[in-house]
Amino acid sequence: MKDKIREIEKSAVEEIALAADADMLEKARVKYLGRKGLITELFKNMGGVSSSERAEVGRLINSLKVTASKAFDDKASAISGGRDLKCQKVDITLPGIAREIGHLHPISRTIEEICGVFISLGFKVVEGPEIENEHYNFEALNIPLEHPSRDAFDTFYLADKWLLRSHTSPVQARFMEKNNPPFAIVIPGKVYRPDATDASHSFMFHQVEGLVVSDNIRFSDLKGALTLFARQMFGETTKMRFRPSFFPFTEPSAEVDISCILCSGESRSAGHDSRRCSLCGGKGWIEILGAGMVNPKVFKNVGYDPEKVTGFAFGMGVERIAILKYGITDIRMFFENDIRFLRQF
Ligand SMILES: [Zn+2]
């Protein structure tokens, strides 16, 4: 037993001395002084020591513990640069250091707000890759190579038919291939278009798309969901208008407008140029998104039976929603990282 104590003492002092950083030192401390450490074990084994030797062995173990603890403390303060907390003086009369508290970027915040409305309706958030292949970005969504609408979506190509996605819709196709209806999802994310940058265009922007598929989804469900969204986003009195439109992946399709959030459509009847609203230009309506019933061809492409399922889809530009909501005049402000702009949110 005495030999063992001496042995442990030697190796403990050595290991503590060799510890090069706080982690190694902590490992050594646990090994020797921890609750299941070697020194603690020695105390537990005292029962097997004959009564004549017990007092001496006890003293030896105690002295080992003191030696190891001191070696540990010395090494700890050496590692922390001799900074001993007990010696630190804190002047509590000094003014505190205020930490700058960050917050969400207006785009992240708008994405959270948009998704939040749909989450409250039972939608699930799904994300997908920004680098896509042509199949998911175009063909799976009923946009074949020769389709004229492909021009509008054309994007940045990488090698071998890979490209930066031009919309978040490929995630719809990817999700449908792996999941069966019924489901309701929203898909937020970055998209890319070869647009020259100006006050209202950017080569990169954000979209949120939604997709609901089940056995009896009707256009009225789409209208209900979007009306609720518009009211939560822009106020309870917001009105909606659906205009017939065309998208390859929906049929029928609609552009969706809301009543102008600046003039509520009142400048429409003003009739005089000087009183025209700067936001809607006197039209009384502003376009916020595109939507429609999922084209049966899209269902076929992902292996669903269009006779059995129906669904609706919608997609909106996040920057556009944020611009309208916060009265921002230039899309470039979102990406310039000017702290004076960002602090306003
Ligand atoms: Zn207006």
DSSP string computed for 244-313: EEEETTEEEEEEEEEE-TTTTTGGGGT--GGG--TTTTTSSEEEEEEEEEEPHHHHHHTT--TTT-EEEE
* Alpha-carbon dihedral sign for residues 61, 65, 71, 74: negative
Residue 77 CB: number of other CB atoms within 10 A? 15
Closest residue by Cα to residue 152 from 140, 137, 162: 137
The Å distance, Cα 119 to ligand 1 centre, comes to 30
The Å distance, Cα 273 to ligand 1 centre, comes to 13
Backbone φ, ψ for residue 247 (5° rounding): -135, 140
The Å distance, Cα 205 to ligand 1 centre, comes to 25
The Å distance, Cα 234 to ligand 1 centre, comes to 13
Q: How far is residue 139's CA from residue 188's CA, in Å, rounded to a whole number?
A: 21
What is the predicted pLDDT for the residue at 188?
Answer: 97
Q: For residue 157, what are the contacts with CB-CB under 8 A and spacing of at least 6?
A: 163
Q: Which residues pair with 313 in a beta bridge?
A: 211, 292
Closest residue by Cα to residue 292 from 230, 232, 214, 212: 212
The Å distance, Cα 225 to ligand 1 centre, comes to 24
Q: Are strands 285-294 and 162-164 parallel, antiparallel or unpaired?
A: unpaired
The Å distance, Cα 277 to ligand 1 centre, comes to 4
Alpha helix locations (H) across 20-149?
Answer: 22-33, 38-44, 51-79, 106-119, 134-137
Q: Hey, is 176 helix, strand or coil? A: helix
Closest residue by Cα to residue 183 from 327, 275, 304, 95: 304
Q: How far is residue 232's CA from residue 236's CA, in Å, rounded to a whole number?
A: 7
pLDDT beneath 50: ranges in the chain = none
Give the tokens for residue 332: 């470039």
Q: Hey, is 63 helix, strand or coil? A: helix
What is the predicted pLDDT for the residue at 270?
Answer: 55
Q: How far is residue 167's CA from residue 182's CA, in Å, rounded to a whole number?
A: 23
The Å distance, Cα 330 to ligand 1 centre, comes to 18
The Å distance, Cα 266 to ligand 1 centre, comes to 7
What is the predicted pLDDT for the residue at 141?
Answer: 84
What is the predicted pLDDT for the residue at 25?
Answer: 87
The Å distance, Cα 339 to ligand 1 centre, comes to 30
The Å distance, Cα 138 to ligand 1 centre, comes to 36
The Å distance, Cα 283 to ligand 1 centre, comes to 7
- What pTM was computed for the model? 0.69
The Å distance, Cα 282 to ligand 1 centre, comes to 6
The Å distance, Cα 87 to ligand 1 centre, comes to 67
Cα within 13 Å of Cα(205), Cβ side: 28
The Å distance, Cα 281 to ligand 1 centre, comes to 6
Burial 23-59 (b: 16+ CB within 10 A, else e): eebeebbebbbeeebbbeebeeeeeebeeeeeeebee
What is the predicted pLDDT for the residue at 160?
Answer: 82
Distances (CA, A) of 160 to 131, 136, 157: 12, 14, 9
The Å distance, Cα 259 to ligand 1 centre, comes to 8
The Å distance, Cα 127 to ligand 1 centre, comes to 34
What is the predicted pLDDT for the residue at 85?
Answer: 58
The Å distance, Cα 164 to ligand 1 centre, comes to 35
What is the predicted pLDDT for the residue at 305?
Answer: 95
